[in-house]
Amino acid sequence: MLKEVIMPQLGLTMTTGTIQKWLKKEGDQLEKGEPILEVMTDKVTMEVESFDSGILKKIVAREGEEIPVTQVIAYIGDEKDEPSPELIARATEAKAALASEAAAVAEPQKEPALAEEEEGGRIKASPLARRLAQEKGLDLRLIKGSGPGGRITKEDVLKAAEEKERRPAPAEAARVAAPQIAGAPQVAEVIPLTGLRKIIAERLSESFRNAPHIVITMQVDMTQAQVLRDSLLFLVEEKWGVRLSYTDIILKATALALKEYPGLNSSLVGEEIKIYQDINIGLAVAIPDGLIVPTIFGTDGLSLSEIARKREELVKKAREGSLSLDEVGGGTFTMSNLGMYGVESFSAIINPPQAAILAVGAIEEKAVVREGQIVIRPQLTLSLSADHRMVDGALAAQFLARVRELLESPYLMLISG
């Protein structure tokens, strides 16, 4: 009897998965629990095991295809089992439906009727309708009102929002070859925007489009942090086999500051701001095909040596591609460090739905004024990007000032609870 192999849901937020690689081919004998393919989610690439023993009779989803969860991707059966053409056709119906939606974009669409205007050019709309339209990013001029005299009501806005969600994105329109332009630069290589790079593009575009970013920057004197690191470096390496980094010290300071300013340790879910008790900092790690953010759980309760060990373990697994879903989920705040590349400062894009992200630059020797004297000090630039819907400027400044205070007097971290 034929059995369906479906795209598994490997996480609560997973809606689609990309088939990275088939580890077995049609006709191969499978054992229950044996890996048969690699699936890339919005977080990690994972091996999917066979749920049953048998022969891989038919693969209906190719490598590189993005497939909705629970959709059939293959069939397993005995030697006598053969999937009928009708069965294969049903398995590919969902893909055909997606293709037809994309093709429909090429067809000319009716322009929506413009909303009625009051005298003076103001659109006729109820206050609630105006607020809803602003929240959902809708242009009132393009909504036809159903109220008295063409007045736009709440129901009109909700209907327009639903239509907008159903409408295929312009980027999905049928692709047409661009005309050759005289003097245009010659293309050396075309890299498809697929896989992890596509996921990163979609998530960060969504964040930058929907979250109003506020960015504040502070300079930190790292003199005492250097003294602390130098005094612990040999001990930590000898006892635990890891090298204590400035990233570890900054992670600890950030976690303790989040404990004092929990408004930064939050996320926006629907119309609710959720403030978390647990402090789980995600650390952005560069990998060959993009970026991944493993999570250090309970960062505030870890010692510097524990943070160093966990950070080193997660970075190693990230670069090997062996992170589990649990290790890349559950983050409440994110930190990104480009200091090792000599970057003095930068503004990072918030990792949705989190409230903020801390961007860490390089430590550089700079001339500063101390007690009326010009002296050379190791200076670090920290830039905090926060979602202004959840975090006001004053709160962001207070939080970053506390991070600076802990780094400039790092022994406070040893007595902070």
Mean pLDDT of 385-413: 96
On whether the CB atoms of residues 278 and 298 are closer than 8 A, the answer is: yes
131: CATH: 4.10.320.10
Mean pLDDT of 15-43: 85
pLDDT for 296 equals: 97
Q: Is residue 110 part of a domain?
A: no
Give yes or no: residues 402 and 277 share one domain: yes
148, pLDDT greater than 50: yes
242: CATH: 3.30.559.10
Q: Is residue 114 part of a domain?
A: no
356, pLDDT greater than 90: yes
pLDDT for 147 equals: 79
Give yes or no: residues 11 and 145 share one domain: no
103, pLDDT greater than 60: no
Give yes or no: residues 165 and 218 share one domain: no
Residue 36: name the closest of 75, 87, 1 by CA: 75
On whether the CB atoms of residues 388 and 210 are closer than 8 A, the answer is: no
Contacts of 395 (CB under 8 A, 6+ apart): 261, 263, 264
Mean pLDDT of 234-256: 96
Long-range contacts at 308-316 (CB < 8 A, ≥ 24 apart): 308/236, 308/240, 308/242, 308/243, 308/244, 308/245, 308/248, 309/240, 309/242, 311/245, 311/247, 311/248, 311/251, 311/283, 312/242, 312/243, 314/283, 314/285, 315/283, 315/285
Give yes or no: residues 212 and 85 share one domain: no
Give yes or no: residues 275 and 161 share one domain: no
In terms of average pLDDT, the best of 92-96, 173-177, 371-375, 397-401 is 397-401
64: CATH: 2.40.50.100
pLDDT for 94 equals: 56
**Has 289 been annotated as catalytic?**
no
Q: Is residue 201 part of a domain?
A: yes
Least-confidence region, from 104-108, 213-217, 273-277: 104-108
In terms of average pLDDT, the best of 5-9, 67-71, 249-253 is 249-253
Give yes or no: residues 283 and 158 share one domain: no
Give yes or no: residues 322 and 245 share one domain: yes
Residue in 78, 230, 326, 392 annotated catalytic: 392
Per the structure, the count of domains in the chain is 3
pLDDT-derived band at 11, boundaries 50, 70, 90: low
Q: Is residue 155 part of a domain?
A: yes
173, pLDDT greater than 70: no
26, pLDDT greater than 80: yes
107, pLDDT greater than 60: no
How far the first Cα of the chain sits from its last, in Å, is 61
250-265 residue pLDDT tens: 999 999 999 999 999 9
Give yes or no: residues 338 and 408 share one domain: yes
Q: Is residue 179 part of a domain?
A: no
Give yes or no: residues 262 and 397 share one domain: yes
Domain boundary among 81, 100, 119: 100
Sign of CA dihedral 305, 310, 316, 318: negative
Higher pLDDT, 44 or 60: 60
Give yes or no: residues 374 and 242 share one domain: yes
Give yes or no: residues 227 and 316 share one domain: yes
pLDDT for 104 equals: 46
Residue in 139, 278, 326, 388 annotated catalytic: 388
170, pLDDT greater than 90: no
**Has 392 been annotated as catalytic?**
yes
pLDDT-derived band at 95, boundaries 50, 70, 90: low
Output the average pLDDT for the chain: 84
Q: Is residue 222 part of a domain?
A: yes
Least-confidence region, from 31-40, 94-103, 382-391: 94-103
Give yes or no: residues 161 and 77 share one domain: no
pLDDT for 89 equals: 66
Residue % of the chain over a pLDDT of 90: 43
pLDDT for 88 equals: 64
Q: Is residue 392 part of a domain?
A: yes
Stretch (H or E) spanning 249: helix 246-260
**Environment class of residue 266 by beta-carbon count within 10 Å: exposed (0-12), middle (13-18) or buried (19+)?**
buried
Mean pLDDT of 114-129: 63
Q: Is residue 405 part of a domain?
A: yes
Domain range for 8:
3-100
**Bridging pattern class, strands 281-283 and 333-337:** parallel
- The model's pTM: 0.66
pLDDT for 106 equals: 37
pLDDT for 192 equals: 78
392, pLDDT greater than 80: yes
